[in-house]
């Protein structure tokens, strides 16, 4: 599992969004699973921006094509947000 957490309105890298960064990390994760011999590799990731949390899944269902899609999204309470670093 991969996780990106940012305060609302803050972006550390102006050239690459948190979603793009997460996608790249997830792609590396899938490639490692392929190298380990996993037949149907898939990884999940989470992006938290402010109070919104979105979960994603990345897999290799088609020959050489990575597929990343949203699993779900929800809003977090302030109490839950305080548990993130």
Burial 29-42 (b: 16+ CB within 10 A, else e): bbeebeeeeeeebe
pLDDT in tens, 18-44: 899 999 999 999 999 999 999 999 999
pLDDT in tens, 41-68: 999 999 988 888 999 999 998 878 999 9
Pair of tokens at residue 73: 């999204």
pTM: 0.79
């Amino acid at each position: 599992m991969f996780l990106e957490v940012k305060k609302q309105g803050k972006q550390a890298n102006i050239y690459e969004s948190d979603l793009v960064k997460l996608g790249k990390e997830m792609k590396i994760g899938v490639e490692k699973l392929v190298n380990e011999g996993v037949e149907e590799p898939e990884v999940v990731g989470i992006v938290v921006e402010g109070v919104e949390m979105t979960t994603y899944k990345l897999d290799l269902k088609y020959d050489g094509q990575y597929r990343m899609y949203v699993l779900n999204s929800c809003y977090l309470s302030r109490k839950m947000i305080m548990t993130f670093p």
